[in-house]
Amino acid sequence: MRILFYTGKGGVGKTSIAAATALSCAQKGHRTIVLSTDAAHSLGDSLGVELRAEPIQVLPNLWAQEINALHELESTWGTVRNYLADLLAWQGVETIAQGELSVIPGTEELFSLLQIKRHYEEGLYDVIVVDAAPTGETLRLLSLPDIMRWWIGRLFPIARALLKVVRPVARRVTDMPIAEDDVLASAQLAIDALVDVRRILTDQEICTARIVMNLEKMVIREAQRSLTYLSLFGYAVDAVIVNRILPPNVDGHFASWREMQQEYEPIVDQTFAPLPILKAPHFSREVIGPALLQPMADLLYGECDPAAFLYRGPTQRVLKTQQGYDLIVPLPFVSEDQVHLAQSADELLISVGWHRHRIVLPQSLARLRAQDAFFEDEALRVIFTR
Ligand SMILES: Nc1ncnc2c1ncn2[C@@H]1O[C@H](COP(=O)(O)OP(=O)(O)OP(=O)(O)O)[C@@H](O)[C@H]1O
Ligand SMILES: [Mg+2]
């Protein structure tokens, strides 16, 4: 099983590239499914077929699916969401930190990712190509299971205790909404499922992300940021894709665009090395339907199998040292002063900008204290000693 996760800023060509990639995987003989987790689906338009919430076969070896996020959310999280909404309303929303609140559902796309788990477990396909929502969203979603586990860890023990001791009384003496058993059970199921999704997506032997960009300053910046955050959250990236490169023979209006692109191209090459940088030209018309996706795939991958691991680089790891252990987290494009660390019991909280990753420490580290941290080769090294 292989999972290819395409992400990037809005409009850079994620859907087109994901569709072209899936087409090429299918032709190479892999049973391939391409699925869109972006609520604003355009995968069907790209492939030139009408897609549904369940997979349909589009071509030999190729299936496609536009996930119904709302349906996934309702069936997995509906009960819990209703309860949380009652609870938050009862508490008065202003008592809850804005940052924490914003990660509580309403975030349907997260539940779309559960379809990846389903396909992974059913094992019907060799390759799953994911056309994800634009960068910021996707990255936030990918960190959600951690944050939810944290929420549930704090919220539900209280709820459970209340349930045992107070419920019969609480029903009479307070109007605080009390979680019924089914709420707790379905919360636990949902969290477990999401944690599974995250485990699959962070398994470096299964899943790699590919960042799609164009040769524009803001898009390149965003791509850099997503490489940082993907690394922070433990996802492997095995290529970046530069789409819409203007050909040499353009004139007028587009000549100056091409000039600008030519300035940025070497910068991208240097910045993202040693990751392979795949390139696709700006075609003379929109890339829609297999006949046009095909040349796109050919130019991107050439003879190479798109399902291959295009790069294997350093990932999060723990090294034994004389004093204890070192935890190494690759964080490209970040300087030391942008990173903030906090440890509480068995958790290490790494903050980079607005993104926070709560690493649940393995037993060997949880007993130790993080003494020091420094940057080395674009990676954060946290020194744990006894
Ligand atoms: N290399 C290219 N040359 C010409 N047109 C392209 C190219 N890549 C994508 N397009 C066209 O640009 C439009 C946007 O592409 P696409 O939908 O793949 O972007 P996206 O990143 O998925 O956008 P969104 O963020 O909205 O999901 C489409 O009409 C597509 O056909
Ligand atoms: Mg898209």
For residue 169, what is the domain's CATH number? 3.40.50.300
Mean pLDDT of 261-265: 96
Mean pLDDT of 50-65: 96
Number of domains in the chain: 2
Q: What is the pTM of this model?
A: 0.84
The atom number, within ligand 1, closest to the CA of 284 reads 4
Confidence category of residue 98, pLDDT binned at 50, 70, 90: very low
Same-domain status, 197 and 328: no
133 CA to centre of own chain = 9
Report the CATH number that the domain containing residue 357 is assigned in CATH.
2.60.40.790
Q: What is the pLDDT of residue 97?
A: 46
Confidence category of residue 32, pLDDT binned at 50, 70, 90: very high
Confidence category of residue 209, pLDDT binned at 50, 70, 90: very high
**For residues 150 and 111, which has the higher predicted lDDT (pLDDT)?**
111
Ligand 1 pocket, 287 CB below 6 A?
Answer: yes
Confidence category of residue 103, pLDDT binned at 50, 70, 90: very low
DSSP state of 337: G
**With left for phi above 0 and alpha for psi between -120 and 50, is residue 51 left, alpha or beta?**
beta
CA angle 19–222–298, rounded 5-degree value: 30
**Please, which residues have CB within 8 angstroms of residue 271's CB and are 6 or more apart in sequence?**
220, 224, 333
Mean pLDDT of 38-65: 94
Same-domain status, 204 and 339: no
Please tell me the distance between residue 186's alpha carbon and the centre of ligand 1 in angstroms: 38
Range of the domain at 376: 317-385
Strands 355-360 and 347-352, bridge-based pairing: antiparallel
Given a cut of 80, whether residue 138 has pLDDT beyond it is no
Same-domain status, 282 and 164: yes
Q: With beta carbons less than 8 A apart as the criterion, state whether 142 and 104 touch.
A: no
Q: Which of 246, 287, 296, 299 to mutate to test the pocket of ligand 1 (most atoms within 8 A of CB)?
A: 287
Same-domain status, 120 and 210: yes
Same-domain status, 36 and 144: yes
Same-domain status, 289 and 327: no
Ligand nearest to the CA of 135: 1
Q: Of the residues 279, 312, 345, which one is the last residue of a structural domain? A: 312
What mean pLDDT, rounded, does the chain reach?
84
Please tell me the distance between residue 109's alpha carbon and the centre of ligand 2 in angstroms: 13
Count of CB atoms situated within 10 Å of the CB of 320: 9
Q: With beta carbons less than 8 A apart as the criterion, state whether 290 and 217 touch.
A: no
Per-residue pLDDT tens over the stretch 264-316: 999 999 889 889 999 999 999 999 999 999 999 999 999 999 999 999 987 77
**For residues 141 and 31, which has the higher predicted lDDT (pLDDT)?**
31
Q: With beta carbons less than 8 A apart as the criterion, state whether 116 and 201 touch.
A: yes
Q: Of the residues 312, 329, 347, which one is the last residue of a structural domain? A: 312
Ligand 1 pocket, 134 CB below 6 A?
Answer: yes
Same-domain status, 168 and 207: yes
Same-domain status, 42 and 105: yes
Same-domain status, 203 and 336: no
Given a cut of 80, whether residue 373 has pLDDT beyond it is yes
Please tell me the distance between residue 294's alpha carbon and the centre of ligand 1 in angstroms: 15
Mean pLDDT of 209-219: 96
